[in-house]
Chain A
Amino acid sequence: MSSRSARSILPGFGLSLGFTIAYLSLIVLLPLSAAFIKTSGMTWDAFVEAVASPRVLASYRVSFGISFLAAMVNAFFGLIVAWVLVRYKFPGKRIVDALVDLPFALPTAVAGIALTAIYARSGWAGFLEPLWANGVGVLGQLFPWGNWAEWLGVKIAFDRPGIFIALTFVGLPFVVRTLQPVLEELEPEFEEASATLGATRWQTIRKVILPDLTPSLITGFAMAFARALGEYGSVVFIAGNMPMHSEITPLLIITKLEQYDYRGATAIATVLLVASFILLLLINLLQKWSRRHHKI
């Protein structure tokens, strides 16, 4: 120990590192390894049957597909919100800035019932439901080859659009909060140079500003996507939870647990965990890329 911390005369290295590793192992590593150990006890066929049955595959499509869409929407609007918060001045800006964090602070169950109250047929925005149903109907007539009612749903709450709204809500802060510090650091000199050389404002944004923001934009997108993938609390209330149609993967894990199918639940959890870890790795790489990007 003393050899490793030789460069520091400060005390407490052994104690703090020992405690950190012990606590990390007991609370995080040991419990997480339980999921992988449980799964490794399954035969390959049993595993495949658990993670690739039609109902589970349908839940992956719902979870991954809608999380992806929600993260895309968050990337688009998050960019605008971050831009407005960093570059413009308007009254109440501090309050608006603080509000961006609400989806972190508001318990997911509260968000779930609030969104349901808004978008249910009898709710505040209940008038949207017939509009949506009509829109989907028109799409079906224009493009009869598509199963639009199945893909887009015919309701808002208790259908796929509800899942989309809940997942957009929970992912909202990520893109804004990853872009804000980068936008603040952006040197105006490059924009000035670009303008002086005759570029229009739009060209400057597209060729000078956006390329600089790309790594953080993708990072924020990946974070929002990862968060949406695991989300449960806000979705269950608004999703309708129809098997094969509006059932998300985390809910399916709970359903299996309630049927005491621990192996089945754990196998699906392992698939979701691996997806999350890949995303975490990607985010770490992106952040390294982004740091290098900004040093140059």
Chain B
Amino acid sequence: MASTVSHLHKHGHGRAHASRVTQDSTWVRWTLTGVALLFLAGFVLLPLGAVFAEALRKGFGVFFSAFTDSDALAAIKLTLLTAAIAVPANVIFGVAAAWCITKFAFRGKSVLITLIDLPFAVSPVIAGLIFVLLFGLQGWLGQYQNAEAPWFPWLQQWLVAKDFKIIFATPGIVLATIFITFPFVARELIPLMQAQGTDEEYAAVTLGANGWQTFWRVTLPNIKWGLFYGVILCNARAMGEFGAVSVVSGHIRGETNTMPLHVEILYNEYQFSAAFAVASLLALLAIVTLVLKSLVEWAHTRSQAE
């Protein structure tokens, strides 16, 4: 669903309305612009400002000490690790899905597209819950022996023998994050590659290129901006996900806390300055994401215009 919202469509090329009859009167323009800006200032700018103001309220010393704490460092490391696995996994999936959906005709394509969108419709809490059901204490695929009717007894035996934990451990966090960020890259690439068609790939293959050569030299240069766009959105969500990760993490300090979960723990312990300091790092990530996003849109519009 968010897909429709964050497409790399050509925006900002609003046509100049020369005709006077379609021009709103000055007071209407001023009023509407004022209402829109006030709404955005109150709901978007104010919270963003509050994060940084609260983080720096007790000075830079307290601000920086929040990051020297070993639990905070562990949380940052885990967040980076999670994104480092989840984003590439969804990039490979996104490219594969976009390739088969846009370059070939087959039955059930629209069903496949709808299914790819599915994780957007699922509450983060439920995304966490389903992995607990599979791998948790009574899960069908869990490492625990008291599972009711395991689906694959041999897998269960192996997991128990290896003491391989999924829930309340890093693998569960990574899985939940992959689920949440699942559609981002695919939904970005599909409309883009659909619009580009298959002519250039046909030409490459006809001229004797093999599949990989065609992909690396023809398709990838064409989709690079869309791919990059999908990656930054996917990454922002992967690093910031809270609900799903909260369900599967178990909140073990220094071990299974990601940055958003660390923010929650500090906040609930009334260490507000430290909580907002870590939060400000995440807010900075959001700002960088938005800046990169705008730059990509700008580059894309320019390359389209050429």
Residues of A in contact with B (beta carbons under 8 Å apart): 4-5, 7-13, 15-17, 19-21, 23-24, 27-32, 34-35, 38, 77, 80-81, 83-88, 90, 94, 96-111, 113-115, 117-118, 124, 165, 168-169, 172-174, 177-178, 180-181, 184, 188, 191-192, 195-196, 201, 219, 223, 226-227, 229-233, 237, 250-251, 253-254, 257, 260, 262, 265-266, 269, 272-273, 276-277, 279-280, 283-284, 287
Return chain A residues, CB-CB under 8 Å to B164: none
Contact A177 B5 (CB under 8 A): yes
User: When A20-B93, A115-B47, A118-B50 are in contact, do A77 and B1 touch as well, CB less than 8 Å?
Assistant: no
User: When A10-B211, A19-B96, A102-B286 are in contact, do A109 and B35 touch as well, CB less than 8 Å?
Assistant: no
Complex partner residue of A8 from B11, B104, B129, B240, CB under 8 angstroms? B104
Return chain B residues, CB-CB under 8 Å to A28: 115, 118-119, 179, 182
Q: Count of A-B contacts with CB under 8 A? A: 333
Alpha-carbon distance between A227 and B5 when the two chains are bound, in angstroms: 12
4 further interface pairs, Cβ-Cβ under 8 Å (given A31-B130, A280-B121): A165-B43, A226-B121, A232-B246, A237-B264
Contact B124 A284 (CB under 8 A): no
16 A–B contacts from the bound complex (CB under 8 Å):
A9-B205, A20-B93, A20-B112, A28-B118, A88-B32, A105-B286, A106-B283, A109-B242, A109-B282, A113-B263, A188-B17, A188-B19, A191-B22, A196-B21, A262-B133, A273-B122
Complex partner residue of B129 from A15, A173, A266, CB under 8 angstroms? A266
Contact A124 B260 (CB under 8 A): no
User: When A10-B201, A177-B5 are in contact, do A232 and B283 touch as well, CB less than 8 Å?
Assistant: no
Task: List CB contacts (< 8 Å) of B1-34 with chain A.
Answer: 1-2, 4-6, 9, 11-15, 17, 19, 21-22, 24-25, 28-29, 32-33
Return chain B residues, CB-CB under 8 Å to A273: 122-123, 126
Closest beta carbon of chain A to B259's beta carbon, Å:
8
Contact A114 B40 (CB under 8 A): no
User: When A8-B103, A13-B104, A168-B43 are in contact, do A81 and B36 touch as well, CB less than 8 Å?
Assistant: yes
Contact stretch, chosen from B58-66, B155-163, B220-228, B290-298: B290-298
Contact B275 A98 (CB under 8 A): no
Contact B175 A184 (CB under 8 A): no
Contact A233 B178 (CB under 8 A): no
Alpha-carbon distance between A102 and B279 when the two chains are bound, in angstroms: 14
Interface bits B256-269 vs A (CB < 8 Å: 1, else 0) = 00011101100100
Contact A257 B132 (CB under 8 A): yes
User: When A106-B240, A109-B279 are in contact, do A24 and B116 touch as well, CB less than 8 Å?
Assistant: yes
Contact A7 B105 (CB under 8 A): yes
Interface bits B35-66 vs A (CB < 8 Å: 1, else 0) = 11101100111111011001000000000000
Closest beta carbon of chain A to B90's beta carbon, Å:
9
User: When A17-B106, A188-B15, A272-B126 are in contact, do A103 and B264 touch as well, CB less than 8 Å?
Assistant: no
Secondary structure class of chain B's binding surface, majority of residues: helix
Contact A90 B241 (CB under 8 A): no
Q: Nearest chain-B residue to A272 (Cβ)?
A: B123
Contact B33 A84 (CB under 8 A): yes
Say yes or no for B243: interface residue by CB 8 A criterion: yes
Give the total of B residues in contact with A, Cβ under 8 Å.
114
Q: Which of A5, A31, A113, A276 neighbours the largest number of chain B CB atoms within 10 Å of its CB?
A: A31
Alpha-carbon distance between A172 and B45 when the two chains are bound, in angstroms: 13
Return chain A residues, CB-CB under 8 Å to B215: 12
Contact B33 A88 (CB under 8 A): yes
Closest beta carbon of chain A to B88's beta carbon, Å:
13
Complex partner residue of B293 from A15, A101, A118, A279, CB under 8 angstroms? A101
Q: Nearest chain-B residue to A183 (Cβ)?
A: B14
Complex partner residue of A250 from B105, B237, B243, CB under 8 angstroms? B243
Return chain B residues, CB-CB under 8 Å to A16: 96-97, 99-100
Nearest 6 pairs of A and B residues by beta carbon: A230-B123, A107-B240, A195-B21, A233-B242, A11-B211, A105-B286
Alpha-carbon distance between A10 and B102 when the two chains are bound, in angstroms: 11
